[in-house]
Amino acid sequence: MQNIPQHIVLFPDGNRRWARQRGIGTLEGHKQGYNNLLDFSEWCKNKGVKVLTAFGFSTENWNRTKEEVDYLMKLLESCLIDNLSKYDKEGTRVRVIGQRERLPKSLQEAIKKTEEATKNNSNLFLNLAISYGGKWDILQAVEKIVEAKIPADKIDEKLFESYLSTAGLPSPDFIIRAGGEMRMSNFVLWQAAYSELYFSPKFWPDFTEQDLDVALAEFDKRSRRFGK
């Protein structure tokens, strides 16, 4: 393939439906999903992808049951801390984007520890979106610009993007959504203006490296004209 996306956005969707299909608890589906995300990040790195932004927990997910939310918070915490050596071995830098102030203190500490421990890694930049929403991201950027008292005539797209949670990263080239749904679900709304979209019918825990190869082959065939 001649064209490998430099920045992939991932919707690891369908974990609960995958579990129900097998007659097991939905929480087990989340666990399998996060295990697959770790593998996916390694596949991406090996194929030359530089940035991976994965949806871990949305602003809307707070509306789920307390049991599920508590489980997901603990799962996210363990995924960060338990895989520190893996991130270091693979040269993965980890950063979390989203409403950190809403997260449990122990998860906030795990985020700080992981970001500090991996800050010098450069093989793959892994962004985990936790308590993240695209509308929130745009609004918080506006709030920061207002607080900075930047004159309206000085605000352009480049400046605005410097206040988004993804500041400093290239715009996503390719968005992959597993699970059969075909929508953006309030994720990276500004950043995805010219992203190529790919939807897989497979539930996320069933998504394999071969499925990624098929998606990348599809990306390679597309002509990106950016309105020209």
Choice among 13, 15, 83, 137 that is catalytic: 13
Choice among 36, 61, 70, 206 that is catalytic: 61
| AA identity, residue 106 | S
d(CA 53, CA 121) in angstroms, rounded, equals 16
* Cβ burial 24-59 (10 Å sphere, 16+ → b, else e): eebeebbbbbbebbbebbbbbbeeebbbbbbbbbbb
* Cβ burial 68-93 (10 Å sphere, 16+ → b, else e): eeebbbebbbebbbebeeebeebebb
Whether 186 is a known active-site residue: answer: no
- Contact 111/131 with Cβ under 8 angstroms? no
d(CA 33, CA 221) in angstroms, rounded, equals 29
pLDDT level of residue 41 (50, 70, 90 thresholds)? very high
φ and ψ of 83, to 5 deg: -110, 15
Please report the pLDDT score of residue 58 as a whole number. Answer: 97
Please report the pLDDT score of residue 226 as a whole number. Answer: 85
pLDDT level of residue 196 (50, 70, 90 thresholds)? very high
Question: Residue holding tokens 């090996």?
Answer: 46
Please report the pLDDT score of residue 2 as a whole number. Answer: 84
- pTM exceeds 0.85, yes or no: yes
Whether 70 is a known active-site residue: answer: no
pLDDT digits 0-9 by tens, 115-138: 999 999 999 999 999 999 999 999
User: What mean pLDDT do residues 62-73 have?
Assistant: 97
φ and ψ of 223, to 5 deg: -105, 115
Strand partners, 72: none
Please report the pLDDT score of residue 50 as a whole number. Answer: 98
The residue extents of the domains of the chain are 7-133+171-221
- Contact 107/128 with Cβ under 8 angstroms? no
Share the mean pLDDT of the chain.
Answer: 96
Residue 1 has pLDDT above 80, yes or no: no
Two structure tokens written together for 34? 């996060």
User: What mean pLDDT do residues 164-193 have?
Assistant: 97
pLDDT level of residue 227 (50, 70, 90 thresholds)? confident
d(CA 212, CA 129) in angstroms, rounded, equals 20
Q: Provide the edge-to-edge strand list for the sheet that holds 174-177.
A: 92-97, 124-132, 51-58, 7-11, 174-177, 196-199
CATH number for 7-133+171-221 (one of 3.90.1150.10, 3.30.70.1060, 3.30.2270.10, 3.40.1180.10): it is: 3.40.1180.10
